[in-house]
Each structure stands twice: as C-alpha cells, then as structure tokens.
Amino acid sequence: MTATTIEAPRSPSRPVKRRGVNWEKWGWIYMRASGIVLIVLIFGHLFFNLMLGDGISAIDFGFVGGKLADPFWQWWDVAMLWLALIHGGNGMRTLINDYATLPMTRGVLKSAVLAAVVVLIVLGTLVVFTFDPCPPGQPADLLPALCAAR
Amino acid sequence: MSTTTIAADRPGNADPAITPFTVTFLIRRFDPEVDEEPRWQDFDVEMYATDRVLDALHKIKWEQDGSLTFRRSCAHGICGSDAMRINGRNRLACKTLIKDLDISKPIYVEAIKGLPLEKDLIVDMEPFFASFREVQPFLIANKAPEGGKERIQTVAQRERFDDTTKCILCAACTSSCPVFWTDGQYFGPAAIVNAHRFIFDSRDEDAKVRLDILNDKEGVWRCRTTFNCSEACPRGIQVTQAIAEVKQAIMRGKP
C-alpha cells in the first residue's frame, strides 16, 4: 500500500497576493541596507567634521561652504540626506501603522510624514548642489569674509 | 519505619515548605451580562509553595466563587488552554508555581490581550485560529514517496524545524505581541511559527505557497523583533528567530 493522496482541505480565505512590487518586503530590506550605509556615512561625516584637522573649532561658514563646493562631499551629503530621510520616514510610517487605529488619522499622519520627507529632500538636494557662499551682485557687507579673497 | 522516625524528628509542621500561607489574588473579572467594563476582584487563598496559579484558580472556583470562569484541560502544560496574563506576563497558569512569584504583593491575573474578551479569563480564540489556519498548517506531500511507503528524513533535516514543532497553540506569544494588539490583521507569531514548522520540513512540497502567504502586507514584515513572543512562550520556542528565518526564506525565495 502506498501513501494515500489527500486533497488540500481548503483554499486560503485570504486571497493570495496580487503580483507586483511587494512594498512591505522592500521597505524592510531598505531599512536594513540603508541603516548599514548610514552608519558609514554618518560616522564618516562626524569624524571629518569633528576630529580631523582643527576638530570642532574649525567649523564655521567657510568650512561648510568649502565642503559643499567639493563634489565628493556634495554626493556624500546628498546620499546621507536621501537615505536618512527615507529611512526615518519609513520608520515613522510603521509607527503610525502601529499606533493610529482610525483610517482617517492614519491617512493624515502618513501624508504629513510624506510631505515633510519630500519637502526636506527637495530643499536639501537643491541647497547642496546650488549652494554658493558668495552670491554675485550682493553688497560686500552682507558677505562672509572669505569672499573678499576671491 | 524510617519515615515515622523522620516525622518524629520534626517538631510539628516547622518545615516552611509544607506550611500553607495566604496569597492574595487580584483577578480581572468580566461578566458580559452584568459588567460594562472589566473589574478587579481580590481573593485570599491558602496555598503551598508547590501549588500553581491554576490550583489557586481552582480553589477560588470550588470554594469561594463558582462563577469564576477560565479554560483549562490537561493542567500539565500541554493542551495550551490556560494561557493568561499573570503579573503582567503571559504564562500558562498550570506551569506557574506560587514559589516563583512574589507573594508579598497580590498576584494579578487577567485574560490575554488582543483577543476579544468573552468572560473573566476567557477570550475568543477564533481570530487566532483563523490566522493559524491561513498558513496551511498541515503536511502537503502529494508526490508518491520514493521507493516505498515512507518519506525518509535525516536527523539533520528533522532538527531543522524541531523547535517550532513544540507549539501548543496557547496564544501566549500572539497575545503578547504589540503589533498584534493594534493590528488584528497581522498573522501573529504563532501562525508564523506553525508555518515555519512546515516550510522547513524536507517532506513538505508547498513551502513556496506558505512563503507567499506570509509575504503579505500583514505577514512577517510587520514583525518588529520586540522579542515579547520569545519571552512569553511557555514551551521555550525561539519565536523571534523562527520569524527571522521565515523572512530570510522569503528573500531567498525558498526555505
């Protein structure tokens, strides 16, 4: 006698997932991947700003202006900005899912988080790539001292 | 003969282990026909150190208030009927010894959380079993077994899912999960543990289907790894680890 073949007792009542991108899964993977990259980016950022050279006393308008003139630091900062804001935004989304029970509250809070993330990413990216410490045609008394050297 | 001698050596009942003491229990009562909201009621019970919380509930029900309602079947930690929240932790009343609790303070006993409260310590377990059924917790092996009538498995293959076979479906893990408290749609740790048991079974042929089911919006990705479930499990199953292994399997696309 061989083992009897028995039909599956029932099909799942929850419809098996539609095809397409599984956001929940990619969100979960993103949190881990971006977390690892952010550790490198943030500690690299802190080490360069606070430890190297004159350390914290070197930080002034000129220091930041100088960094943002260098494409390396521009991309470093933009990567940090995008990864951290999406990481934080996604984390807030899961918190809202955990704590807000009414669909209305959920919707409002998640829209607010999304808006904040989008605005900050757009503004931040704009500033990093277009920042000019010495805008031309401005009165000299409004400009930092380093512009006089130009 | 020798026992008599030992008993004679002891003056009275001086051994503290066999002296009964009074323990106060605060039990969260709810009678749907009378109460609007659950209320705490206290009971003083004479207990021995070797007694369990379940013995206290029995004494209360049999000697003080027959209306006290709770589930229990085997009373030895196997049937999984008497999971309840004892001093804020989910445990089985039949496995919680009085001597392991701080009896200088009242012992709080209430129903497990996150499932609809029906009466006193009884909750409606149907949502819990619904998500258990959802993961198809049965062996799916439709191919004829190779060369005979048995589906042979090595010791290592059996060991792979040994931990999750211990589940007794008491719901202590699922009802300790903060994600489950706020989102009843989440499968919950117990359902994932029971899916794990078959996903990693070498004889099973439908791991893919179960992984697809758990790859849902309300599936394994909602797990926040708070470890409440692992701490609550009266069988000592490493629940959080099992969930993490299912996550890894979903990412690989195979067990």
With an 8 Å Cβ cutoff, is B225 touching chain A? no
Does residue A12 belong to any structural domain of this protein? no
Q: What is the DSSP string of B39-80?
A: EEEEEEEEE-TT-BHHHHHHHIIIII-TT-----SSSSSSS-
Residue of B201, B194, B212, B143 lying closest to A12 (CA atoms)? B212
Q: Which residues contact B172 (CB under 8 A, 6 or more apart)?
A: B83, B90, B91, B92, B112, B232, B233, B234
Asked whether residue A125 is assigned to any structural domain, the reply reads: yes
pLDDT band at A13 (very low <50, low <70, confident <90, very high): low
> Could you tell me the residue range of the domain that residue A127 belongs to?
24-149
Gap from B40 CA to chain A (nearest CA, Å): 27
pLDDT, tens digit, for every residue of A107-125?
Answer: 999 999 999 999 999 999 9
**Could you give the CA distance from residue B147 to residue B130 in angstroms, rounded to a whole number?**
37
- Contact across the interface for B215 and A17, Cβ inside 8 Å: yes
| Structure confidence at residue A19 (pLDDT) | 65
Find the CATH number of the domain harbouring A121. Answer: 1.20.1300.10
The CA-based angle B122-B123-B127, given to 5 degrees, is 155
**In terms of pLDDT, which residue wins out, A20 or B137?**
B137
Query: Was domain B7-123 assigned CATH 3.10.20.30?
Result: yes
Cα(B67)–Cα(B167) distance, integer angstroms: 31
What is the CA A60 to chain-centroid distance, rounded? 25
- Closest CA–CA distance from residue B149 to any residue of chain A (Å): 5
Residue in A5, A13, A14 to test binding to B, most B beta-carbons within 10 Å: A14
Q: Does domain B126-252 have CATH number 3.40.462.40?
A: no
What is the end-to-end Cα distance of chain B in Å, rounded? 62
Alpha carbon A56 to its chain centroid, in Å, reads: 25
- Whole-model pTM: value is 0.83
Strands lying side by side in the sheet with B89-92: B39-47, B21-29, B107-110, B83-86, B89-92
- CA gap B24, A106 in Å, rounded: 43
- Three-state SS for B29? strand
Using the 8-state DSSP alphabet, how is residue B118 labeled? Answer: E
Give the pLDDT score at B15: 66
The interface pTM score, or ipTM, of the predicted complex is 0.72
Tally of structural domains, chain A = 1
Cβ partners under 8 Å of residue B92, min gap 6: B77, B80, B82, B83, B84, B170, B172, B234
Q: What is the pLDDT of residue A10?
A: 53
A3 falls within a domain: no
Domain annotation covers residue A19: no
Which residues pair with residue B122 across a beta bridge? Answer: B119
Nearest-CA distance from A42 to chain B in Å?
Answer: 24
Pick the residue of A28, A30, A32, A105 with the most B CBs within 10 A to test the interface with B by mutation: A28
Residue of B nearest to A31 (CA): B221
Of A17, A28, A99, the CB nearest to B216: A17
The 10 Å Cβ neighbour count of residue B238 is: 16
Higher-confidence residue of B122 and B11: namely B122
* Model confidence pLDDT, tens digit, residues B166-199: 999 999 999 999 999 988 889 999 999 999 999 9
B114: phi > 0 → left, psi -120 to 50 → alpha, else beta; which? left
DSSP 8-state symbol, A60: S
Lowest-pLDDT choice from A8-22, A59-73, B85-99, B224-238: A8-22
Q: What is the pLDDT of residues A64-73, one digit of tens each?
A: 888 898 999 9
Domain ranges for chain B, please list them: 7-123, 126-252
Structure confidence at residue A137 (pLDDT):
76
Q: Is the confidence at residue B58, as pLDDT, over 90?
A: yes
Tell whether A28 is within 8 A of chain B (Cβ): yes
Residue B13 pLDDT exceeds 60: no
- Full 3-state SS string of B199-236: HCCCCCCCHHHHHHHHCCCCCHHHCCCCCHHHHHCCCC
Residue A65 contacts residue A133 (beta carbons within 8 Å): yes
Interface contact A17-B247, CB threshold 8 A: no
- Could you tell me if residue A67 is inside a domain? yes
Share of chain B above pLDDT 90, in %: 78
A24–B222: do the CB atoms touch at under 8 Å? yes
Cα separation, B100 vs B94, whole angstroms: 13
From the list B178, B213, B250, the residue facing A25 with the nearest CB is B250
Contact, B104 vs B118, CB < 8 A?
A: no
